[in-house]
Structure 1
């Protein structure tokens, strides 16, 4: 008895999912949502993606079959049966390998079913031909030529060849100089495993030279994990590393703005951060300068502008205002530094008048910072960069006549502690210098709201430690002169420790 084609089509059925639900396969999606959901789960496909693109089901079914057979096997021997025309070259590929790429799989299936009145029958035939249970009966598959047009300038011959090689080998060597091109190739090929490997390599390879290109790649491909990694790296390295290198000019303004607004930004002091941003502006305006300028050179450049208007009020400075509004100018308290800001003719007079007024108010009220409320966005910040070779490292700081020592201690190879303590002005090493250049407060008790943070990089991941926000009275006699201690365990180095505080009204 010979069955008609119509009758045979009605009897064809396929198991979809682990509950053995059946559905007719003649169309990618027949309207059976439960069946579709089960099939997506079995093939590890996103359900919403399958609704938008039903052809993805066919590709994934074949891809799962081929990729399963490729695991733990050497490169397939024999003659290539797919020719890829791309970038002006012809690349010979084997059919099973190209199904690791969604793009190549789609191009191949389109070529396979082109001109066919029954595309799904062709796909079924392909699956039967490649079934591992029918290895001996496997029929030869005709040689296909597929074409791919690429307009991305990042994709050149070498990185694209590396991407294609990765279809055959899971651990192809990728050089850091080529990783952007390989990432772009993986994106175009929709080769997810390779794309993620490039992402991991880029996040581990952030340097002053690579930060800009890697950040722009993260923005281009909307990869938040890469852009976030760039932001976190720059939060720690903007001042201590890039602040002394000409590579500072590579930092995009939008990335710089995000980092300046971050409460996690590390800086040795507020004035040191300001100097770094002034250097950045200088380098943007002086493209021929190939070394970081001296502080005096930078000051001379900005002072050379006419005195009738400050730099930020000029057309050239208008777009830079958001950067400097993100700085905490109110926490630059040294008289020498404030005089430099006045002479620079960089900031609007209203900004500097507000800073000066806040300082006068604080000094008249025993150091109270009535204008500061939020510790995350307004606190005075000082930082210690604690390196592996240190056993003890400390720095003296002075704000409104109060003197503190910020200190880090290394107890063993992986144990550290950080704290701050109030110091009598008479106990300083050079008290005469204090009387000459700084005010001295004789208040016995100083109320301080503070937080101590520490961050370090371990295996390309940031470890973060912090105390709670603490409100404490600092007196001059022990033990009330000492802050809460931040104790950490880490093998990372260096450790970026930040001491942030406010003197609330008391």
Structure 2
């Protein structure tokens, strides 16, 4: 057998041969690919890819929505990650928001929306892909002609600046993003179906919760069905409604639905029930006085509600009826101070039947030595108080009085990360300033008081809430050690501030 001399080739033919030799078989399925170039321009590999994914190529080019975009994106991003076209020129021109944006394939395929638009444009190309793939018709692969794709956006949250930031993140993974622009970038990421950026925006928003952002971030979580974000907003507000929002004009922007959900939460932090009541009254005041630009003093708010005609209380009026579910969440039975109860009557806000019931329960409790016969469930009915333990605190305590029994709730910082919280019964004669606590209060002479209680502490650490609890404990409190002191809640945390809650009821003794 005589071997024929090889046919001589021109320089251009040699280059063409080398280019075709760059194709290589991948795996045992005889799939072809060009490792250094974008995959979709390779019309030999396209049908094999569609076959591997179980997709009809003609249907694919006619209706790109049928494609399993995440699978195809994975193929592209693995092979084209951080690579632009070899000559540096853009592959696609995106027309959107009155601008033209030049993009490269490796970055474009990170967006499901842009991937679909690109495939649709590919399907509208001049020649039939199937004819181009007939045996013997494979020619040298030229760079795909730059395509023009258009995207119409109806979301008003998407601004040109935010959209530009989103497109920039196709190229730069760690592009800086501030809290002020994150809403627009989140909306842009949602439109682009750019999951990596969307998740990053969610984390930025969760770490940027404050009075001025809580409303918009919560609504964004609902709009884009991001449960992680809405939950973070709810937990943040559970802790900060009373200590922070109550003094901010941004309180007026809290949606009623969110406020009601927070008021029903067993994790809600408040210094006392009266503090929570004042916060809710302030929210109602701000709804009715939209031009007010600063939180008024408490007396101004009381005067406003007291100015309504006396023929019926505020909650019985048409405007008050819509807010009735909010005020039903309050535990008015926890307000025992005679001065505070007199204030409630004075503003004519609550139905008279509510106040009569509260007063009657107080009378029966005092008559029976403090037993709260009307309270059964600690989680939903307990009297609650709170301490906010800040960085500068080494010890923090508060005296409380209820039905003639006096307690001190206390927090102690032992070292940089170690804390303990407890409550203890004290004699009224041991108070530093008895007149302040004992004024308008009875004094019980009972040596023991049965108490069912729970002490909780919560702190935010690296975007996650740590929760600590003694669980529910029933204990008799006397005047001498050790029965005068509750079980201590000992915690280890680097979170500051610490929100410590003390909830208790006096069961039948």
Aligned-partner Cα distance in 1 for 2:67–2:476:
65
Q: Is 2:391 aligned against 1:380?
A: no
Q: Is 2:253 aligned against 1:243?
A: no
Which among 56, 66, 70 is matched to residue 67 of structure 2? 56
* CA distance 1:330–1:75, shift in 2 (3 Å): farther
For the 8 Å contact 1:330–1:355, the answer to whether it is kept is yes
Which among 415, 418, 429 is matched to residue 415 of structure 1? 418
Alignment map for 1:419-434 (pairs within 5 Å): 419-433=422-436
Q: Is 2:305 aligned against 1:302?
A: yes
Partner SS, residue 327 of structure 1? coil
* CA distance 1:432–1:205, shift in 2 (3 Å): closer
For the 8 Å contact 2:82–2:106, the answer to whether it is kept is no
**Which digits, 9 at most, give the CA deviation of each residue in 1:191-231, with x for residues without a partner?**
00000000000000001000000000001011111000000
Shift of 1:138: 5.2
**Which digits, 9 at most, give the CA deviation of each residue in 1:332-363, with x for residues without a partner?**
01010001111110001111111111111111
Aligned-partner Cα distance in 2 for 1:122–1:442:
99
* CA distance 1:62–1:430, shift in 2 (3 Å): closer
Partner SS, residue 280 of structure 1? helix
* CA distance 1:331–1:205, shift in 2 (3 Å): same
Partner SS, residue 412 of structure 1? coil
- Residue aligning to 2:155: 152
Aligned-partner Cα distance in 1 for 2:204–2:132:
40
Mean CA deviation greater in 60-69 or 165-174: 60-69
Aligned-partner Cα distance in 2 for 1:76–1:397:
74
Aligned alpha-carbon RMSD (Å): 2.8
- Residue aligning to 1:491: 494
Aligned-partner Cα distance in 2 for 1:358–1:153:
53
Alignment map for 1:432-443 (pairs within 5 Å): 432-433=435-436, 436-443=439-446
- Residue aligning to 1:142: 145
Q: Is 2:122 aligned against 1:112?
A: yes
For the 8 Å contact 1:66–1:97, the answer to whether it is kept is no
For the 8 Å contact 1:394–1:407, the answer to whether it is kept is yes
Aligned-partner Cα distance in 2 for 1:75–1:411:
61
- Residue aligning to 1:233: 236
Shift of 1:56: 3.3
Alignment map for 1:43-442 (pairs within 5 Å): 55-57=66-68, 59-71=69-81, 78-114=88-124, 139-433=142-436, 436-442=439-445
Aligned-partner Cα distance in 2 for 1:139–1:215:
49
Shift of 1:73: 5.9
- Residue aligning to 2:484: 481
Shift of 1:81: 1.6
* CA distance 1:121–1:161, shift in 2 (3 Å): farther
Partner SS, residue 177 of structure 1? coil
Partner SS, residue 181 of structure 2? helix
Gaps of at least 5 residues in structure 1 are 1-11, 16-24, 41-52, 130-136
- Residue aligning to 1:446: 449
Aligned-partner Cα distance in 1 for 2:226–2:109:
24
For the 8 Å contact 1:75–1:168, the answer to whether it is kept is no
Length-normalised TM-score, structure 2: 0.85
Gaps of at least 5 residues in structure 2 are 1-27, 32-45, 56-63
Length-normalised TM-score, structure 1: 0.86
- Residue aligning to 1:18: none
Number of residue pairs matched by the alignment: 460
For the 8 Å contact 1:29–1:54, the answer to whether it is kept is no
Partner SS, residue 497 of structure 1? strand
Mean CA deviation greater in 424-433 or 399-408: 424-433
Aligned-partner Cα distance in 2 for 1:214–1:76:
41
Shift of 1:463: 1.0
Shift of 1:460: 1.6
* CA distance 1:483–1:99, shift in 2 (3 Å): same
* CA distance 1:71–1:224, shift in 2 (3 Å): same
- Residue aligning to 2:36: none
* CA distance 1:329–1:118, shift in 2 (3 Å): farther
Aligned-partner Cα distance in 2 for 1:144–1:54:
19
Q: Which has the larger radius of gyration?
A: 2
For the 8 Å contact 1:450–1:499, the answer to whether it is kept is yes
* CA distance 1:54–1:210, shift in 2 (3 Å): closer
Aligned-partner Cα distance in 2 for 1:304–1:123:
83
